[in-house]
A and B are shown apart, each in its own frame.
Chain A
Amino acid sequence: MDWTSLQQRLLHWWQQSVSWLQRIDWGPWQQRLRQGFRAAGNNFQQSWSLLQPKLRQGLQRSERLLQRVWEPIRQRLPQGLPAWWPGPEPPLAARRIVDAWHSGECWVAVVCFGFIAGILILDVLGREFLGPFLRLIGLEPGATGIFTSQKLSIFALVIGSFAGIGIATATGAHIVPGFASGWVPPEWKPIYDRAADLLTGLFLLGVTWFGLKFVGSSFKTDLRAPVLDWPVWPIQLAIPLGFLSAAGRYFVYAAWPALKPAPPEFQE
């Protein structure tokens, strides 16, 4: 069958199936289904309007009860930050340091991810296209892929990802489960956020310590990467450094919340 007759036949089938579909009277079906949806919607609305006042009453009652228990405790708690705590506005030097720090990390990550893309593209193109092509024209090129490209990419991924922890912190890109966000009264939020940042910083500092211990043990045992035979501790060092960078940032945010990026509208 030639191309034109195939084209004509396909076009004919297409037109036939469209006209067949158009012959069916969908109107009554559509109407019946719409009626069904409408009836279900009305039923739901009626039951909801009966249930709603009761739910609201219950909620108001429990809110009152909670307030009665909570209010005396709240009055006894400190109402603000101590005087020695840095104010919300950061000094210019702090802002400059944070910006320079961020830009350094961005470059490290860009170089690493660019390297991954470049080396893997060259490896696959060399192996799957250049090699077969050279063999086709009668040459024997040997190995046309890049030796240990995947291992080198994994190393770049580790460095790039852990530089990325700092970038994600600086741009508010970390995934933060949001469903517990309403557990704290809104008037507490400024103090609460700073305390949370301080805690995150301390926690990540602890993780950095254990990371350094892990790197230290690799250094002592002279652990080497298979095939490449490189010592792995310089690459592993990216892990505690990434955590340290994030910890440092959270300390800065606890001190000067104005430097903290606004949380993103959404996180996929």
Chain B
Amino acid sequence: MKALALVAAVAASLALRQPLLVILLAAAGCVNLFWGRGNLEDIIEDVWVGLDKEVILSIPLFILCGSVMTRGSIAQRLIRILAAVTKPLPGGLAVATILSCAVFAAISGSSIVTMLAIGSIMYPAMRQAGYDNKFSLGAVMSGGTLGIIIPPSIPMIIYGLVTETSVTDLFAAGFGPGILLTLALSAYSVWFNWGMRTAAFDLGEFWLAFKHGIWAALMPVILLGGIYSGYFTATEAAAVALAYALAVEIFIHKELKPGDFYNVVLETSKLGGSLFPLIAVALSLNIILIEHRVPQSLVDFMQGYISSPLMFMILVNILLLIVGCLMTTGEAILVLAPLLAPLAESYGYNKVLFGLIMILNLEIGYLTPPVGLNLIVAMGAFKQSFGLLCKAAVPFILIMLVCLVIVIWQPWIAMYFVTGKF
């Protein structure tokens, strides 16, 4: 009966179009009243405790860093370098799009920012060069999704926070699947555009592009190198990256004025204002669930029905793919990760690996209707119909699904950079 009341409260909040913050607070309140001590100020105390974590500081820094770097002409500079390298390949411009997205993803932790920054330049360029419209749209949209799998990634930090998993390990684990996806999408681009005209590699052009873009290209090296070498924690790396981004944009590229910094910080505040209280409330709900052994009961219940880890993995993947169609990545991780991660652990899957699998699934959700964010944003940005964008995404979704299966089948692809073992 109490459980029914909880479900009814959540359904009523959904129907009344309440913000996720209110829904989570209402759910935490119901759980505390029905099964806890009934002391509602405990929720606020948990919110306070939830925010008192060092790693949470990396989120505003990465958001700030991404905002600083994406204000100027970083995207153009990266594209110039990569277009010069991929010129001799058939479909070189498409490969350059995917590679630019991958490199840009290592600066920005967001899928939409990556798609818009690269897509707004590369989509018209590909069309002008005679590339197929559907293919060009698919390449730009799917390339954008690399933003959340290649570190730094905001969804990875949120997953790390709500499941108490090392964010550094999650970042390291994102590297392998990121490379796999980049290679697979690039290979498809070459194959699809096999008949396209190619040009010889021009060392002079490459050198010029390299000279203009070296400062931007060094950013991922500093950021990821610092984290993977173990020299910096995620928060320290974020601070160094931000200092570097500010120095490059103010003194070298001269594209950021002190006045612009107010707007950059304000953008971060807006995002932080919607994200941090939400994370804090989700963490508070998490504490209540753990106190009442809810994940443990769920594990016992599931193990009564499903004994095979493979079956569990198949079912979870189907669930996550459906969830990815209906919810955004942040919502899905905040709501589902605290429940699914202990389950995956009980079936023998590492929490870091499971986090990666979860994010890979939700990454596909960026391309699936009705809530595929890259589809929705691309509709406005590239002025194309939703139906056409959905069709354009299909081959790329299939490739991403194949990559997901490969990562599940060969977990070392993700875990090699964490454990150093095959």
Contact = CB atoms under 8 A, between A and B. Distances in A.
Nearest to A167: B273
Interface stretch (A11-19, A65-73, A91-99): A11-19
Interface of A: 11, 14-15, 18, 21-22, 26-27, 30, 106, 109-110, 112-114, 116-117, 120-121, 123-125, 128, 150, 153-154, 157-158, 160-168, 171, 173-181, 183-184, 192-193, 195-196, 199-200, 203-204, 207, 210-211, 213-214, 217, 236, 239-240, 242, 265-268
A196 B17 contact: yes
Contact of A210 (B23, B40, B56, B261): B40
Closest 5 pairs (CB-CB, A-B): A164-B273, A109-B269, A161-B276, A168-B273, A168-B274
A113 B240 contact: no
Contact of B266 (A22, A109, A123, A203): A109
B16 A124 contact: no
Nearest to B377: A266
Nearest to B59: A157
B239 A200 contact: no
Given A110-B266, A200-B22, A242-B277, A121 B242 contact: yes
Given A174-B274, A177-B20, A117 B242 contact: yes
Interface string B246-289: 00000000000000011001101111111011101000000000
B230 interface: no
B34 interface: no
B201 A11 contact: yes
B92 to A, nearest CB: 10
B21 to A, nearest CB: 6
B282 to A, nearest CB: 11
B330 interface: yes
Interface stretch (B73-81, B321-329, B346-354): B321-329
Which of B88, B198, B274 is packed against the most chain A CB atoms within 10 Å? B274
Which of A18, A178, A180, A268 is packed against the most chain B CB atoms within 10 Å? A268
A207 to B, nearest CB: 6
Contacts of A160: 60, 269, 272-273
A9 to B, nearest CB: 14
B376 A265 contact: yes
Given A113-B269, A167-B270, A268-B330, A18 B88 contact: yes
B1 interface: no
Interface residues of B, number: 77
29 contacts: A22-B90, A30-B192, A110-B265, A113-B64, A113-B265, A120-B61, A120-B238, A120-B239, A121-B242, A124-B240, A125-B239, A160-B273, A161-B51, A161-B277, A163-B273, A164-B272, A168-B274, A174-B21, A177-B14, A179-B14, A200-B18, A203-B22, A210-B43, A210-B44, A211-B44, A214-B48, A267-B373, A268-B328, A268-B373
A72 B110 CA distance: 49
Contact of A30 (B191, B198, B240, B377): B191
A120 B271 contact: no
B216 to A, nearest CB: 19
B328 A267 contact: yes
B186 interface: no
B371 A179 contact: yes
Contact of B376 (A21, A154, A196, A266): A266
Contact of A181 (B17, B25, B89, B190): B17
Nearest to B391: A41
A117 B330 contact: no
Contacts of A165: 21, 273-274, 277
A267 B271 CA distance: 10
B291 interface: no
A207 B54 CA distance: 26
Given A120-B61, A214-B41, A268-B328, A114 B265 contact: yes
Contacts of B125: none
Given A22-B90, A161-B276, A164-B272, 10 more contacts: A27-B194, A121-B243, A157-B56, A177-B14, A180-B15, A196-B16, A200-B22, A217-B41, A267-B328, A268-B110
A160 B192 CA distance: 49
B19 interface: yes
Contact of B25 (A164, A207, A214): A207
Contacts of B360: none
B89 A18 contact: yes
A265 B21 contact: no
Contact of B190 (A21, A124, A150, A161): A21
B236 interface: yes
A26 B242 contact: no
Contacts of B276: 157, 161, 164
Contacts of B280: 161
A163 B201 CA distance: 53
Contacts of B45: 214
B110 A173 contact: no
Nearest to B326: A179
Contact of A166 (B273, B326, B330): B273
Contacts of A166: 273
A110 B64 CA distance: 11
Nearest to B263: A110
A174 B20 contact: yes
A164 B275 CA distance: 9
Contact of B20 (A116, A150, A176, A210): A176
